[in-house]
């Protein structure tokens, strides 16, 4: 059943469905979506009429918040933190600081990457969350569209990461930092593209993108490491799962974000165009 069909079953007219989707009032499995054509389970769909008005795919959305931390759905194209020479550009941490009074970075997602990101709302939470990351006690999983089909069996990619001496580009280098990514194929698609899942063991900058390219499966849309021209406007990488023990309270927090609208639409386009 498509999301549009579920919303129709809720009694929404076509105009009402369109407005709800475009303004961030429709959430699937805890995150906003504007993709009426995606396949969903009816019980996973929420109509949040009181949710803040946002443009899905452009604006961030707070998935969880308490006194110590927030988990946020970051859209592609938004910086995680302030970047050199881009001081006037919005970034997720600064936006949250304006909303909540303070916000502190813990980890980051690349600017073109969408999905779940945690942000500390106190300095003690920041220190303890960073410690969890260093202990590799935070589960972080990604979904990506990549070139060439991939086996459904988990593969361990262990390749040290650093910078190339002559260009400064991040890459697999012999004397780099130890880095491990686990990858499996989720769905092999037409045009020799695959949807894959990647699980981080370490968390280096651009790790998933570099490791996948190193194994001959560059991420669709990644001109930096893939060196390819694609019909997709950004790096097709999405942080879909985040799980960790609360840094200051008992209990585990776990979040999942369905595939970003633009990646999901491209996945369906690949299937449709091959028929």
Catalytic residues: 110
- Residue 191 CB neighbour total at 10 angstroms: 12
Question: What's the angle, vertex CA 92, arms to CA 75 and CA 136, rounded to 5?
Answer: 90
> Residue 108 region, left (φ>0) first, then alpha (ψ -120 to 50), else beta?
beta
Q: Alpha helix (H) ranges present in the chain?
A: 3-9, 14-22, 92-100, 123-134, 207-214, 261-273
Contacts (Cβ under 8 Å, ≥6 apart) of 122: 67, 68, 69, 102, 104
213/177 Cα distance (integer angstroms): 17
- What are 71's two structure tokens? 């988990």
């Amino acid at each position: 059943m498509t999301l549009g069909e579920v919303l129709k079953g809720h009694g929404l007219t076509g105009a009402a469905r369109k407005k709800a989707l475009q303004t961030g009032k429709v959430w699937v499995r805890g995150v906003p979506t504007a993709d009426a054509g995606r396949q969903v389970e009816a019980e996973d769909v929420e109509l949040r009429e009181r949710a803040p008005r946002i443009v899905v795919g452009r604006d961030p959305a707070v998935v969880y918040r308490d006194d110590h931390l927030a988990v946020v759905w970051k859209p592609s194209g938004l910086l995680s933190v302030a970047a050199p020479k881009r001081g006037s550009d919005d970034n997720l941490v600064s936006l949250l600081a304006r909303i909540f009074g303070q916000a502190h970075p813990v980890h980051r997602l690349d600017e073109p990457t969408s999905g779940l990101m945690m942000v500390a709302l106190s300095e003690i939470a920041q220190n303890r969350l960073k410690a969890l990351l260093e202990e590799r006690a935070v589960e972080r999983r990604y979904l990506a569209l990549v070139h060439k089909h991939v086996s459904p069996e988990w593969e361990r990619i262990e390749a040290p990461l650093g910078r190339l001496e002559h260009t400064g580009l991040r890459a697999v280098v012999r004397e780099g930092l130890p880095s491990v990514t686990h990858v499996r194929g989720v769905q092999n698609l037409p045009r020799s593209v695959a949807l894959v899942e990647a699980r981080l063991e370490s968390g280096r900058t651009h790790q998933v993108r570099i490791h996948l390219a190193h194994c001959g499966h560059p991420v669709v849309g990644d001109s930096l490491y893939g060196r390819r021209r694609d019909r997709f406007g950004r790096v097709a990488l999405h942080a879909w799962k985040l799980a960790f023990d609360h840094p200051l309270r008992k209990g585990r927090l776990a979040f999942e974000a369905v595939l970003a609208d633009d990646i999901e639409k491209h996945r369906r386009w690949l299937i449709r165009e091959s028929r």
